Amino acid sequence: MGNVDTEAKISAKAQAVKSVKLGRFSFRRPVLLAPMSGVTDLPFRRIVVGFGADLVVTEMVASESFQKGDAEMALRSAGEGLSPHVVQLAGSEAHWMGEAARMAEANGADIIDINMGCPARRVTTGWSGAALMRDLDHAMTLVEATLAAVNVPVTLKMRLGWDKSSINAPELARRAESAGVQMITVHGRTRDQFYEGRADWSAIRAVRDVISVPLIANGDVSGFEDADAILDASGADGLMIGRGACGRPWLPAAVSRYLANGQRWAGPELSELVSLVVRHHAALVDHYGPVKGVLAARKHLGWYLDAYRDRLGGVMAGGDEAEFTRMRSELLRASDPNAIAEIIPAIFTLLSRSAGLSGASSEADQLRAAHCASAGKTTATELAEGDAACQTGRAA
């Protein structure tokens, strides 16, 4: 009865929600993947969209470097196969923001997002990111230049302010809306908090009170209850998930479906999860090349393991803890893509068996099948060629 009541309440809320429109795109209570440097590259965004996320945003793209042809910035801005394709630009000078926005649109961007929220010292020391909130007049020159350069919608992401003595997100949001920005995202911390403590979701409501364009609330959303709480506290039209999606790329889509119908999805079953992890690793190798791709994948592999272990309750039986630690170290130090793809099914099998899941005796066969299926879908590691596990039926 409780679940029925909860779903009925969520359904009533969903019916009362207004649509969020950005150009030719329309969403009901959207759940976005936050831009995260070193995380939201094209392979990750494709996976998140594959689960059904509403919107995903590129890593932060430095406007001047991008406009001058920097290869890394070009790679960050890539969005082949994604619609809508959202490119986030950062910078400190209006000229370069305008030129970079024009270039991103020409390259296929459907939406341009302006970064005024990054707290990293390497960004703010150059008067980019959250540092722009220290001088709103200057910040608005970047907004105006970006708007003037493109025909696609422009959005803006910010923090509450630089520090607790300068909470000026409402003023910046109001001025940005007046200039033509079509959506505002606010992270519920000041810059000087970085990611410490808890995001103040209720403080975002002050922005809601002064703008009529869609408002997206961001900060510390890691599950369904958080989604309800941040929307209720902030009055926002949607929410953005960042670190909560690390190791759980299905989370934005799962939260979106939850907000629509009250259904909670914990994520893929084990065999599907292993196939996903293998494919993600291979996609990163394709995207960056074998050396950089393996390095880029390590953090994701660690996140996947941590998330799955947490999902199983975190406790391991007997000597499995030591074996898991050994295998995890081997996985995250390995440099050969083929070796990594074989360790992945084995370590997830260990976690599953240690948790005492039903059907664990056949888990190796299921994971081998997932591994072999993935092998046929990637060219990065050439897993299908000479893979003894797939050829002989031996568990990978």
CATH number of residue 154's parent domain: 3.20.20.70
Per-residue model confidence as pLDDT tens for the chain (396 residues):
555 555 555 555 554 567 899 999 999 899 999 999 999 999 999 999 999 999 999 999 999 999 999 999 999 999 999 999 999 999 999 999 999 999 999 999 999 999 999 999 999 999 999 999 999 999 999 999 999 999 999 999 999 999 999 999 999 999 999 999 999 999 999 999 999 999 999 999 999 999 999 999 999 999 999 999 999 999 999 999 999 999 999 999 999 999 999 999 999 999 999 999 999 999 999 999 999 999 999 999 999 999 999 999 988 877 899 999 999 999 999 999 999 999 999 999 999 998 876 444 344 445 555 445 544 443 333 332 323 223 222 222
> Strand runs (DSSP E) across 162-246, as ranges?
183-187, 215-218, 238-241
Q: Which of 261, 294, 322 is the last residue of a domain?
A: 261
Q: Which of 195, 228, 261 is the last residue of a domain?
A: 261
Residues 68 and 211 in one domain: yes
Residues 201 and 231 in one domain: yes
Q: Is the model's pTM score more than 0.75?
A: yes
Positions marked active-site:
118
Residue whose C-alpha is closest to residue 114's, from 191, 57, 40: 57
pLDDT tens digits, 15-60: 456 789 999 999 989 999 999 999 999 999 999 999 999 999 999 9
Tokens of 36: 């995260």
Tokens of 182: 């079509």
At 340, which amino acid appears? I
Q: Which of 261, 286, 306 is the last residue of a domain?
A: 261
Q: Are 396 and 368 in contact (CB under 8 A)?
A: yes
| CB burial readout 329-340, b (16+ within 10 A) else e | eebeebeebeeb
- Burial class for 320, CB neighbours closer than 10 Å (0-12, 13-18, 19+): middle
Give the count of domains, the chain. 2
Q: What domain range includes position 223?
A: 2-261
Residues 346 and 376 in one domain: yes
